[in-house]
Amino acid sequence: MEFMSNLGGGSQADRPSLFELIAQDKMREMLEPALRYVIAVYAQRYPRYLIRIVNRYEEFYAILMFFVERHYLREYGASFAENFYGLKRVRAPRVVKQVKVNIDEESVAAAAEAVAITSLPGSNKLRERDIRKSLLFLIGLPYVKCKLDEYYEKISGGEAARLFGDEFAQEDDDLTGQPLLVRSKAMAIKAFKRGYPFVNALYQLSILAHYIGYLYNKTPFYSPWLRLIGIEVKRMSAADYRDIQQKAKRTPTRTSNSMIESIQNNVLGLLSGSLDFLKVLLPMSIFFFKFLEWWYQSDYYRKASTAGDSAEVPPPERVKPHPDGIPLPRVANVCPLCLKAITNPTALTSGYVYCYPCAYKQVEEHGRCPVTLMRCQTDDLRKLYNDAGM
C-alpha cells in the first residue's frame, strides 16, 4: 500500500503522484457546478440582479476564474487547485543537443557554468509569458470546449438523439438552389457534426496517454497542454512555504504621498486578501454542493419528504379576546357586534367571524377587530362559504 500511495513519485521527492494531480483537476472541475448552484439559488430570490449572470454563466465563470487564477499564478506560482494541494508550476529544463564531437577542457567548463546558472534558485520560476500561457489553457481551453460541447449537443439532438436515433437531430434540408453562403454554412455544420466526436476522442485519449506515461515515469508532463507550454508541476518545498510566509509578513516600503494612492493600496490589499480567502471558501462551497447532491439523492430525503406529506398540520393557536374588547356572545352563530344570527359570515385576521356588513363597518371606522383589538384592514376580510361557528 505504501507503494500505491506514492505511485509515480519514485525517488524524486518533489514529483507529485498522479493521484494528487488528478485530485486537483477534479477539484477545479467541481468549482463550476458548485458556484452555478449557489448563484441559481440566489437568482430565485433576486432575479433582477442575478438572472443575467445565470443566462451568461460560462462567460461570468471564465472572467471570475481568470482573475483568481492570475492572482495565484503570480503570487504562488500555481493555479488555485494546485496551490490548495501544495503544488507549484516550474519551467521545464530545456534539452540541448550536443553537436560537437571533440570536447576540450574549455567547453566542459563552459557547460558546467551553464548548468550552474540554470540550477540557481528561482531560475525556473514562472515568467509573465508563462503565466499568460497557463491562463490560456486553464481558462480559455475549457471555455472553448464547453461551448463546442453545447453546440454539438444542440445540432446532434442531445440525449434524445442518442437514445432514439437521428429523428430528434436537426434534419438536413434540401439546399438545392440556395445561395453559396447558405450551402457552405450547412456543409460546415455537417462536417462539424461528423468530425467533432473523433476530435473529442483524440482529446481524451491524449490526456489518458499522458496519465499513463506520467504514472510509469516516462514523461514529466501529466498533461499534453503542459508539454506544449513547457511547464512541469512539482511539490512545494519547505523553502517555498518560507518564502510565502515572509512575503505575507513583508510590509510595503513605499509610502503613499496622496490619499488616492493610499486608497488604491488599501483596495488592492483587500482584493488580494479576498482572493487568498478563496482557499477556504471555495472548498467549503464544494463540500456544501456535494452534500446537497447526496442528500437529495438519498433515502433520507425521500423518507423525510414522505413523512412530511402524511403528517397533519396542526391548527394555529386561537387569539384570546382582549380585556378592552367587546365580549363574545354565549350562543354560537351569533355576531358579537349586532348580537343577531350571522348572515353572510366574514372572518377577520384574528379568526373571529361576524356579519359582513358589521365587520366591514367596524374595520372601516376603527381598523381593529372588536374582540381582540388586532389591527386589520378592509382588504383582510375573508368571506366564508360554510356554516360559521364561534
Q: Does residue 169 share a domain with residue 83?
A: yes
Whether 348 has a pLDDT exceeding 70, the answer reads yes
Could you give the 3-state DSSP secondary structure of residue 215? helix
What are residue 277's phi and psi, to 5 degrees?
Answer: -70, -15
Does residue 351 register a pLDDT over 90? no
pLDDT of 389 > 50? The answer is no
The CA dihedral of 51, 57, 60, 62, to the nearest 10 degrees, is: 180
Same structural domain, 294 and 222: yes
DSSP string of 56-73?
THHHHHHHHHHHHHHHHH
Tally of domains within the chain: 2
What confidence score (pLDDT) does residue 118 get? 45
191-206 confidence digits (pLDDT tens): 998 899 999 999 999 9
From 82-86, 124-128, 286-290, 361-365, the region with the lowest mean pLDDT: 286-290
pLDDT the model gives residue 331? 82
DSSP sequence for 325-381: SPPPPSSTTB-TTT-SB-SSEEE-TTS-EEEHHHHHHHHHHH-B-TTT--B--GGG-
Q: Within a domain: residue 263?
A: no
Predicted local confidence at residue 322, as pLDDT: 84
**Same domain flag for 297 and 345:** no
Helix, strand, coil % (nearest 5) of the chain?
A: 60, 5, 35
Please state, in angstroms and rounded to a whole number, the distance separating the CA atoms of residues 128 and 139: 16
C-alpha–C-alpha distance, residues 35 and 282, integer Å: 8
Q: How far apart are CA 342 and CA 352, in angstroms?
A: 12
| 214: pLDDT strictly greater than 90 | yes
Residue 115 within any structural domain of the chain: yes
Per-residue CA distances from 286 to 279, 296, 298 (Å):
11, 16, 18
Judged against a pLDDT cut of 90, whether residue 167 lies above it is answered with: no
Show the cell assigned to 217: 515515469
Same domain, 126 and 246: yes
Q: Establish if 257 belongs to a structural domain.
A: no
378 in a domain, yes or no? yes
pLDDT tens for 91-119 read 988 654 444 444 455 554 555 554 444 44
User: Residue 390: which pLDDT band, with cuts at 50, 70 and 90?
Assistant: very low
Residue 213 has pLDDT above 90, yes or no: yes
Mean pLDDT score, 178-202: 88
Judgement on whether residues 386 and 346 belong to the same structural domain of the protein: yes
Give yes or no: residues 235 and 158 share one domain: yes
Phi/psi at 216 (5° precision): -100, 20
Q: Report the distance separating Cα 71 and Cα 65, nearest Å.
A: 10
pLDDT at 285 over 70: no
pLDDT of 111 reads 52
Task: Please give the pLDDT value at position 246.
Answer: 80
pLDDT(279) > 80 = no
Is residue 20 assigned to a domain?
yes
Single-letter residue type at 262? S
Inside any domain, residue 312: no
Judgement on whether residues 31 and 165 belong to the same structural domain of the protein: yes
**Global confidence as pTM:** 0.58
pLDDT digits (tens, 9 = 90+) for 25-62: 888 888 888 788 878 878 878 888 788 888 888 999 99
- Pairwise pLDDT comparison (287 vs 119), residue with the higher score: 287
Are residues 339 and 212 both part of a single domain?
no
CA distance 355 to 345: 5
Query: Could you tell me if residue 212 is inside a domain?
Result: yes
Q: What's the pLDDT band for 227 if we cut at 50, 70, 90?
A: very high
pLDDT of 4 reads 40
Q: Quick check: is 266 in a domain?
A: no
pLDDT at 10: 47
Shared-domain flag, residues 247 and 359: no
Task: Give the pLDDT confidence score for residue 313 in this predicted structure.
Answer: 62
Q: What is the CATH number of the domain that holds 342?
A: 3.30.40.10
In which domain, by residue range, is 379 found? 319-390
Are 242 and 350 part of one and the same domain? no
pLDDT at 137 > cutoff 70: yes
The pLDDT of residue 8 = 45
Residues 227 and 184 in one domain: yes
Question: What 3-state class would DSSP assign to 231?
Answer: strand
pLDDT of residue 76: 86
Task: Please state, rounded to an integer, the average pLDDT across all residues of the chain.
Answer: 76
Same domain, yes or no, for 245 and 379? no
